[in-house]
Structure 1
């Protein structure tokens, strides 16, 4: 059993929460400023899509780079370095007037994004082990809350006509302050065995050859495919298929994110009461119901309710994927490897979800496109058993 948190663990939890806030804030500020960047450089929709795809692909590389840096030093170093790099890249993005520099800075941001994603979850898993109970959902809730704040901040910036460069630079400055301040409270690496797990450390987690871990990766990819579909095509589905107004259409993703925040705020207590497998199964059932409502919606209000139900159900999947992977590790470096490699499925799912739902929707209509989301929610339900903690004597 874990001895429970001490003062350093509480500070580490605050530091990890701050890192997730920084991550969610900066990502949202850059994403919601894309229309302004589009106007600055005269970009087409296709060019913006290519930039997003580039960042997503490079983020996968950044996740693996974060794994390598954590192995050589610690996830604390990897996270602080990635946050600092993200802040610097974002500042350049906001101030760029040359397109080549703008694209190059976005590529660097992609590396930093993957690094922050991986290292922040490494730290989140480490803090959860120190606490001896589920706390990882609270970190992802911090991300969701920061994303909402970021969107409101950009809306306010546009309302008061704040310069684009200054708007992005302010958000980048917040990230830099978090890297330099609370970042010092992050947990250092430890090679000791994790609570309740015995055995010698393994050099290679063999992620893609281990059935339970591959199942977690597939569940992660399925979630992010649904999430990407909601963010990329939700508003278009409401306007083009359900003939909603432009002012109503954004409520689909807004409802999805708002209920995702509720889900993550309640997720840790739910896990402590009924266990991760039950929470994932119930969440997947809610997600399955939500996606079916989206597909069958006769009018925008029903679709918005479906997106909300989907967010409420499925938002616990990523944090519980990382927690389950960490629970299967024999030592801290091994846990960091598993988290970094699992994180790559984030970007795989995001790419496939946006591309496949869009492709099916273009050919057969967006109702057919969102049928894929129904299948993906069903896949999470089928994979729920992989979220069970392994016995100490079992293999990864």
Structure 2
């Protein structure tokens, strides 16, 4: 593989890792934020809802910009917004400044989510084999470091933890994948963006399920350990840390697992493991048992997202602009899942958070029938269907 591609791969992986580092750095501090602003579960749900909706807007903005501007430039802008917004969320002296940080971070989050995956699927084309799980493994590694930093700085004033936002500013200067000359903004390329949306829906539903489970675990896990099973405050980040370790290991093995067993069996076995993990969480009598449940959940659910993006890119085909547009739109399923995982878990569990985890526990089993849409054969059938309906706007 040419050294240039390896350099781009490292840069894109750094983008994923940075996003994970900041996101987990924020969510593992939710108990502190909750105490600082005297927020209830419904109040936290409202903040999370705002972030998810604004991230959806940021993803749409990335799609619009990527038609005319290289995704690398949009990614750099998103990283700067993530840094500024997260710094305000952690260090804001007054409530309006905190809300401003929520807004800026939310938009930046969506831009980075969309553009890192745009970059990854285009590079995957250059490699000619599945590499998306390793990129999402980089996100998990970054989140793992973020959770470890939270554990190490548990006694540090919340405002000082804003120093974690230096990292996205540094990574914004990395050697991301440039757009090839002549690829940007031609009328032919713009016409090529008319992608039938319906064929991607079934794969997108799988990603909704993933983000529902993933967001519930990562957003509410620390609160669950803190309030439901009485973990010592210093150890509440353990809801996320082992979850991320398990996710990282499975994602790093994801390329070879898919090559050996196929996409569909890997997803179905993972769904059963994730469901079992959530059963353990909801029934946990003590916090170490709950940590075990979160760990099993992370191992089971972790490869769904990268395989979803790979399937969506395969369905898209065509030019870089076409792939970028499909990935940005497909990324919206991320936020539907985020709403279900972050907001619905909090609303259902407002009186007893234990009940909130029943929702993802049941819905994760929908991956069993959905898994067949992720396989190469299903992808080829969908691609033929998309070709027959070319020029018809997606739903």
TM-score range, shorter chain: 0.7 to 0.9
- Asked if 2 retains the 8 angstrom alpha-carbon contact of 1:267 and 1:316, the reply is yes
Which aligned pairs between 1:1-396 and structure 2 lie closer than 5 A?
Answer: 5-38=1-34, 46-159=42-155, 161=156, 164-168=158-162, 170-180=163-173, 182=174, 184-188=175-179, 202-207=192-197, 209-210=198-199, 213-234=200-221, 243=229, 245-246=231-232, 251-295=238-282, 300-330=287-317, 331-361=319-349, 368-389=355-376, 390-391=379-380, 394-396=384-386
Query: Offset of 1:146 from its aligned partner?
Result: 1.2
Rounded to whole Å, the distance in 2 between the matches of 1:6 and 1:282 is: 36
Map Cα deviations across residues 355-378 of structure 1 (whole Å, 9 max, x no partner).
333444457x66654333232221
- Asked if 2 retains the 8 angstrom alpha-carbon contact of 1:125 and 1:326, the reply is yes
- Asked if 2 retains the 8 angstrom alpha-carbon contact of 1:28 and 1:147, the reply is yes
- Asked if 2 retains the 8 angstrom alpha-carbon contact of 1:252 and 1:307, the reply is yes
Rounded to whole Å, the distance in 2 between the matches of 1:222 and 1:41 is: 31
User: Normalising by the residue count of structure 2, what TM-score does the alignment of the two structures yield?
Assistant: 0.84
Aligned length: 375
Rounded to whole Å, the distance in 1 between the matches of 2:58 and 2:264 is: 30
Higher mean C-alpha deviation, range 369-378 or range 287-296: 287-296
- Asked if 2 retains the 8 angstrom alpha-carbon contact of 1:90 and 1:109, the reply is yes
Q: CA RMSD in A?
A: 2.9
Rounded to whole Å, the distance in 1 between the matches of 2:125 and 2:247 is: 24
Rounded to whole Å, the distance in 1 between the matches of 2:58 and 2:20 is: 17
Which sections of structure 1, spanning at least 5 residues, go unmatched?
Answer: 193-199
Query: Offset of 1:129 from its aligned partner?
Result: 1.2
- Asked if 2 retains the 8 angstrom alpha-carbon contact of 1:239 and 1:249, the reply is yes
Rounded to whole Å, the distance in 2 between the matches of 1:33 and 1:189 is: 41
User: Normalising by the residue count of structure 1, what TM-score does the alignment of the two structures yield?
Assistant: 0.84
Query: Offset of 1:125 from its aligned partner?
Result: 0.8
Tell me the SS of whatever aligns to 2:316. Answer: coil
Query: Offset of 1:230 from its aligned partner?
Result: 2.1
- Asked if 1 retains the 8 angstrom alpha-carbon contact of 2:20 and 2:143, the reply is yes
Structure 1 residues 381 and 201: alpha-carbon distance in aligned structure 2, compared to 1, 3 A threshold: farther
- Asked if 2 retains the 8 angstrom alpha-carbon contact of 1:190 and 1:332, the reply is no
- Asked if 2 retains the 8 angstrom alpha-carbon contact of 1:232 and 1:354, the reply is yes
